[in-house]
């Protein structure tokens, strides 16, 4: 039996949001992190992955539940972790050596010892010769090496990484992933466990031994999958691709919301993902061109889209009834096929129909505009409604998406200067 390094029991994290009360971000999180494990955490954007990582690091305290490190509840920052951030988080006025040494700031070591450790790590992460360079003189990949070096120099039991490769170009990222994996698999670092947040399923399956998938609103662990293939893994191997496929299908499964319009003001509104109408139509066209069912992950690969950009499009296509997802395959519905083959004008009509049918808040907006004699209404009015469901910031965001979709469908129009929504046909009438 491998030793348990960390244990999270019944973790809940909520935030007090204006007008929304306490919103639960993470719920019911139970995790055991064992020695020797490389864990990936996957989940939709905004689901709470970073929050979970921060709780493990002791940078954020949970609203409920316990975080144990070596069997003891952590108080304040977790002494056993080192953290790597997506944004590198280097100090521009410090050299590579000084940035790395910063990881040892709170350690009771003599300066000479700190120097020795920092130089050894710099060598290990492939930055030999760059000790006195400043971050601005380095490429993105080299900067992230410094970020990793600063965490490694602490010789943490657990290395936490929050989307460490997503700010890098593909080749640089591949290179760095391999180097890090080599340090890990060949035990060149004393790190006992790695936990990495990523939005790349392929990256998770390539690097880690265990993939944990979170849901959204709130984030719960919906899947915990062991990945047992030996390193180095072949991304073309059927076992590899079928695992990627499986995780894709888990991530894209969504609950079908009920759409009783009369209930809309009382019911919880479903958050719409930010997808430009143009991207959505392009996507449906592409799926049509590819013929029958398509593997989602292959599609994402073909489009070179990150999960964070890709999932919202898939979700919107489902929401509007143009596509269905079954076990990681996307398939157009009858309407979806019709849409793909339609003329620009017919598309707008179909989109309009689906929008009013499947997005209750859109129906409500149109209803309000209809019931006003001048068929206009201030943005603020709708913001107030949306705020009750989403909070102030997200309300603005949601309305912007609705306006974009409504405009594409020629259902509503919007005067940006006056911040007023109109019924589309009203505009046409006044322009005649
Ligand atoms: P992810 O890393 O999965 O994209 P995060 O953990 O960053 O998600 O955030 C999850 C949710 O928690 C988001 O909706 C975010 O707005 C919210 N959130 C994060 N930090 C705070 C905070 N300090 N106050 C209020 N809400 C927060
Ligand atoms: Mg994050």
Q: Read off the CATH number of the domain in which 87 is found.
A: 3.40.50.300
What is the model's pLDDT at position 58?
96
Cα-based torsion angle of the residue sequence 183, 189, 192, 193 in order, rounded to the nearest 10 degrees: -40
What is the model's pLDDT at position 161?
97
Q: Are strands 158-162 and 81-84 parallel, antiparallel or unpaired?
A: parallel
Pocket of ligand 1 (CB under 6 A): 15, 25, 43, 45-51
Average pLDDT over all residues of the chain = 89
* Residue 194: how many other CB atoms lie within 10 Å: 24
pLDDT in tens, 292-351: 777 877 787 777 777 778 888 888 998 899 988 877 788 899 899 999 999 888 998 899
What is the model's pLDDT at position 268?
60
pTM: 0.73
| Size of the chain, expressed as the number of residues it contains | 432
Q: Are residues 233 and 338 in the same domain?
A: no
What is the model's pLDDT at position 274?
85
What is the model's pLDDT at position 254?
55
pLDDT in tens, 278-292: 888 888 888 888 877
Q: Which residues have a Cβ under 8 Å from the Cβ of 351 and sit 6 or more positions away? A: 277, 281, 320, 339, 405, 408, 409
Tell me the mean pLDDT in the region 363-386.
Answer: 88
Please give the distance, rounded to the nearest whole angstrom, from the Cα atom of residue 122 to the centre of ligand 2.
Answer: 27
Q: Which of 25, 217, 395 to mutate to test the pocket of ligand 1 (most atoms within 8 A of CB)?
A: 25
What is the model's pLDDT at position 431?
44
Checking 240-247 for CB contacts under 8 A at 24+ apart, the result is 240/205, 240/206, 241/297, 243/205, 244/201, 244/202, 244/205, 244/297, 245/295, 245/296, 245/297, 245/327, 245/328, 246/328, 247/42, 247/201, 247/204, 247/205, 247/211, 247/213, 247/223
Q: Are residues 88 and 237 in the same domain?
A: yes
Q: State how far the Cα of 281 lies from the Cα of 301, in Å rounded to an integer.
A: 19
Segments of 141-185 assigned E as strands: 158-162
What is the model's pLDDT at position 65?
97
Q: State how far the Cα of 241 lies from the Cα of 234, in Å rounded to an integer.
A: 9
Ligand closest to CA 43: 1
Per the structure, the count of domains in the chain is 3
What is the model's pLDDT at position 393?
86
Look at ligand 1, atom 5, and give the residue with the nearest C-alpha.
Answer: 48
Q: Which domain holds residue 316?
A: 273-356
Ligand 1 atom at minimum distance from 54 CA: 6
Ligand closest to CA 47: 1
Share of the chain above pLDDT 90, in %: 59
Q: Are residues 377 and 245 in the same domain?
A: no
* Residue 276: how many other CB atoms lie within 10 Å: 14
What is the model's pLDDT at position 264?
40
Residue for token pair 């348990």? 4
Q: Where does a domain end: 334, 356, 378?
A: 356
Tell me the mean pLDDT in the region 77-93.
Answer: 92
- pLDDT category at 263 given cuts 50, 70, 90 is very low
Q: Is the pLDDT of residue 371 over 90?
A: no
Ligand closest to CA 49: 1
SS3 281: helix
Q: Is the pLDDT of residue 12 over 70?
A: yes
Q: Are strands 4-17 and 64-69 parallel, antiparallel or unpaired?
A: antiparallel
Low-confidence winner among 161-170, 174-183, 266-275, 365-374 (lowest mean pLDDT): 266-275
Q: Which of 19, 41, 48 to mutate to test the pocket of ligand 1 (most atoms within 8 A of CB)?
A: 48
Please give the distance, rounded to the nearest whole angstrom, from the Cα atom of residue 301 to the centre of ligand 1.
Answer: 27
Ligand closest to CA 161: 2
Q: Are residues 368 and 315 in the same domain?
A: no
Q: Is the pLDDT of residue 429 over 60?
A: no
SS3 248: helix
Q: Are residues 289 and 191 in the same domain?
A: no
Q: Are residues 266 and 207 in the same domain?
A: no
Q: Which of 13, 14, 15, 395 to mutate to test the pocket of ligand 1 (most atoms within 8 A of CB)?
A: 15
Q: Are residues 349 and 335 in the same domain?
A: yes
Q: Are residues 197 and 306 in the same domain?
A: no
What is the model's pLDDT at position 345?
87
- pLDDT category at 255 given cuts 50, 70, 90 is very low
Q: Where does a domain end: 323, 356, 389?
A: 356
pLDDT in tens, 391-403: 888 899 999 999 9
Share of the chain above pLDDT 70, in %: 95
Ligand 1 atom at minimum distance from 48 CA: 6
What is the strand order of the sheet 420-423 is part of?
A: 376-378, 420-423, 412-415
Q: Are residues 265 and 278 in the same domain?
A: no
Please give the distance, rounded to the nearest whole angstrom, from the Cα atom of residue 64 to the centre of ligand 2.
Answer: 21
- pLDDT category at 256 given cuts 50, 70, 90 is very low
CA geometry: angle at 159 spanning 157 and 162, to 5°? 160
Q: Are residues 117 and 244 in the same domain?
A: yes
Tell me the mean pLDDT in the region 242-269.
Answer: 63
Through-space distance between the first and last CA atoms of the chain, rounded to whole angstroms:
79
Q: State how far the Cα of 147 lies from the Cα of 160, in Å rounded to an integer.
A: 12
Ligand 1 atom at minimum distance from 15 CA: 25
Q: Where does a domain end: 296, 330, 356?
A: 356
Q: Which of 11, 26, 50, 271 to mutate to test the pocket of ligand 1 (most atoms within 8 A of CB)?
A: 50
Q: Is the pLDDT of residue 362 over 50?
A: yes
What is the model's pLDDT at position 26?
97
Q: Are residues 147 and 205 in the same domain?
A: yes
């Amino acid at each position: 039996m491998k030793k348990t390094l960390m244990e999270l029991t019944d973790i809940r994290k909520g935030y007090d949001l204006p007008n929304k009360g306490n919103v639960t971000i993470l719920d019911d999180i139970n995790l055991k992190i064992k020695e020797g494990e490389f864990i990936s955490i996957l989940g939709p954007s905004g689901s709470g992955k970073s929050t979970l990582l921060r709780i493990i690091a002791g940078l954020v305290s949970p609203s409920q539940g316990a975080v144990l490190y070596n069997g003891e509840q952590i108080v304040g920052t977790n002494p056993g972790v080192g953290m790597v951030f997506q944004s590198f988080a280097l100090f521009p006025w410090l050299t590579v050596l000084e940035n790395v040494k910063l990881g040892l700031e709170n350690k009771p070591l003599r300066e000479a010892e700190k120097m020795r450790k920092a130089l050894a790590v710099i060598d290990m992460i492939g930055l030999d010769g760059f000790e006195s360079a400043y971050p601005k003189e380095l490429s993105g990949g080299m900067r992230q090496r410094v970020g990793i070096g600063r965490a490694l120099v602490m010789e943490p039991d657990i290395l936490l990484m929050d989307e460490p490769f997503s700010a890098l170009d593909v080749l640089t990222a591949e290179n760095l992933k391999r180097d890090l994996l080599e340090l890990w698999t060949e035990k060149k670092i004393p790190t006992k466990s790695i936990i990495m947040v990523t939005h790349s399923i392929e990256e998770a399956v390539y690097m880690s031994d265990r993939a944990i998938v979170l849901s959204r609103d709130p984030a719960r662990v919906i899947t915990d999958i062991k990945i047992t293939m030996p390193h180095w893994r072949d991304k073309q191997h059927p076992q590899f691709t079928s695992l990627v496929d499986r995780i894709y299908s888990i991530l894209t499964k969504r609950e079908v919301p009920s759409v009783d319009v009369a209930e809309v003001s009382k019911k919880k509104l479903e958050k719409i993902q930010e997808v430009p109408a143009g991207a959505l139509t392009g996507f449906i066209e592409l799926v049509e061109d590819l013929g029958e069912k398509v593997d989602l992950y292959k599609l994402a690969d073909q489009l070179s889209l990150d999960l964070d950009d890709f999932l919202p499009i898939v979700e919107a296509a489902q929401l509007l009834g143009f596509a269905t997802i079954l076990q990681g395959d996307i398939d157009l519905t009858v309407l979806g096929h019709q849409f793909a083959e339609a003329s620009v004008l017919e598309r707008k009509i179909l989109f309009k129909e689906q929008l009013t049918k499947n997005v209750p808040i859109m129906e409500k907006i149109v209803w309000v505009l209809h019931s006003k004699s001048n068929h206009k209404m201030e943005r603020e009015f709708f913001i107030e409604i949306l705020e009750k469901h989403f909070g102030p910031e997200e309300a603005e965001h949601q309305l912007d998406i609705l306006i974009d979709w409504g405009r594409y469908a020629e259902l509503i129009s919007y005067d940006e200067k006056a911040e007023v929504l109109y019924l589309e046909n009203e505009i046409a009438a006044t322009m005649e």
